[in-house]
Homo-oligomer: A and B are copies of this chain.
């Protein structure tokens, strides 16, 4: 039987930072079954006390103390959290000290700066990039490629749309995407609209077995999901990428984050914000 440990992500704001790092850390421990609970917006002493009650309740129920990953800006609220019957690892408290010393500066101790709207320019850049991705999804138009930072190219269900949207929301990057259909695949010629922006092209490929699986969920027993079709499309697509010198990635074992950051890295694209 796998032992269960409960992990709490506690934050005075969204909890995303605590989740991201905490999740990265616990994935390093195989063989344990982690139950993950996020407690966001713990921004007062009373809310912190309620969180502690909940953590202590879990400790009693499970007979083992939980692990708490937290990002608390306010020392007073953190002090309450530290009273919990748990291993409390606060990311801010751990690093703010060394940073203050290095930068010869006191931190402002203000909650929610990281995922706050910050400045409206960032918000606007992000929404504009998202609208660009939506308006230039799936080759619906090729007119706006002049504005694009990157144009993702690949066969149906190779991961173009989620990657485009992730690039927009996470990095503010303008990503269009274009599906390779039988038209391009048969002729082995990329359309002129793509050739006009050849330096912006990035290819996505995927293993045939995985693609069949994905397409079968959408249209079971179709030609679209057949082994022959999938193998043909992928072979032709990679032939096109190589013929035109389009860099490409096999996405089979990659998450959307990995695909997006690889595109960013390999194309040398700049983020519009952090």
**Residues 77-112 of A at the B interface (beta carbon under 8 Å):** 87, 89, 91-92, 94-96, 98-99, 102-103, 105, 107-110, 112
Closest B residue to A102 by beta carbon equals B87
Asked if B253 and A114 sit within 8 Å, CB to CB, the answer is no
Chain B residues, CB < 8 A from A94: 94-95
Interface bin, chain A: 35 or more
Chain B residues within 8 Å of A14, by CB: 257-258, 261
List, in ascending order, chain B residues with CB within 8 A of A113's CB. Answer: 24, 27-28
**A222 at interface, CB cutoff 8 A:** no
| Residues on B with beta carbons closer than 8 Å to the beta carbon of A1 | none
Residues B162 and A27 in contact, CB atoms below 8 Å apart = no
Q: Which of A29-37, A147-155, A223-231 contacts B (4 or more CB under 8 A)?
A: A29-37
Some 30 contacts from A to B, beta carbons below 8 A apart, are: A20-B20, A21-B91, A24-B114, A24-B115, A25-B91, A25-B95, A25-B96, A26-B99, A27-B114, A27-B118, A28-B92, A28-B107, A28-B109, A28-B113, A29-B107, A32-B103, A38-B271, A41-B265, A67-B99, A67-B102, A67-B103, A87-B99, A89-B98, A89-B99, A116-B254, A117-B253, A123-B256, A124-B217, A127-B214, A165-B165
Q: Which A residues fall within an 8 A CB radius of B?
A: 5, 13-17, 19-21, 23-32, 36, 38, 40-41, 67, 71, 73, 87, 89, 91-92, 94-96, 98-99, 102-103, 105, 107-110, 112-118, 120, 123-124, 126-127, 130, 134, 161-162, 165-166, 169-170, 210, 213-214, 217, 252-258, 261-262, 264-265, 271, 274
